[in-house]
Amino acid sequence: MKPPSPSRREFLQSLATATLATALPAAATPAPFRLRHVLSTNQYGTLPIADIVPQLAPAGCIGLDIWAGRWGNQREQIDAMGHDRFAALLAQHRAAVSCYTCMDPGFQRCEPHLRAMKKFGGNQIIAGFPNAPGGKELRGAALRTAIRGSLEKLKPIIAIAGELGVELAIENHLNGLLETPDGVRMLAEEIRERHVGIALAPFHLPQEAASLGQLVDDVAPKILYFYAWQFGDGSGDLAPSRQRRQLPGVGPLDFKPMLAALKRHRFAGYTSIFMHPTPRGAPLHSTVKDVTAELNKARTFLERELAAA
């Protein structure tokens, strides 16, 4: 028996439904989460900035993190060559600056470097946190009071950075107010400005993978910069093979809990594959290509762990 023909009303309803379905875009599938790597120039010691800039793309990085002082003198090299010449070097290699690390001179005296960085397209300054007397021993309410006091000291540069559209990322460090996970959590709770946050360095915290993962989960909205860096055997007067245990995939730390937390929060800040070669200012290897190859091994490890996290 021939099925009954649809009524005019049914036909028009089905046509309207089909037209609407065609007009509405399919739900967008979120892009796979990826870390946004920056290339910390101090990994190359005091090798020439002109040789480091071309390594940006081979290292899989979106921008440079410019270091200075005893860790790596690329900021001084840039000032010596002149900012116009450095800008031309960046343009030649289709490279960019993402941030400046200003451990020396610190946040309170970083304004000239902040303004120079802005000229090269950078948007973030990383430095340490002002300490307080007996800071590493403080706990509880006393620690929170000291953290508030240190943030108060940074108010002038926080205001300037806000006006210029620059982020300030505060690194946690041993022997100071932020040497414990509780100190890092308190800092995250006390920061009020959207352009101020944390540069999280697992190296300076207890090497417990689950605890570090929970810490990242707790403070993720305030993390602006993540050091892919573990304690390993520490830094200092060690054989190069032992120094390199600070790198992801070389030392024993399980990065998966931290990476899983970054992935859950779709961390949009910067990540640096990092270690401190010894002595300070020495390159990770003697040539820029060998340094980049070592960093790429760590990046491959992180990407594999991130996919599994």
- Report, as ranges of residue numbers, the positions in the chain whose pLDDT lies below 70: 1-27
Domain spans of the chain?
33-308
How far apart (Å, rounded) are the C-alpha atoms in residues 37 and 99?
12
pLDDT (0 to 100) of residue 20: 45
Q: What is the pTM of this model?
A: 0.91
pLDDT (0 to 100) of residue 7: 55
pLDDT (0 to 100) of residue 205: 98
pLDDT (0 to 100) of residue 29: 78
Residue 65 φ then ψ, to 5°: -110, 110
Q: Which residues pair with 40 in a beta bridge?
A: 65
Evaluate whether 190 touches 144 at the Cβ level (below 8 Å): yes
Q: Where are the beta strands (DSSP E) in the chain?
A: 36-40, 63-66, 97-101, 124-128, 167-171, 196-200, 223-228, 270-273
- Specify the fold of 33-308: TIM Barrel (3.20.20)
Tell me, letter by letter, the H, E, C secondary structure of 9-47.
HHHHHHHHHHHHHHHCCCCCCCCCCCCEEEEEHHHECCC
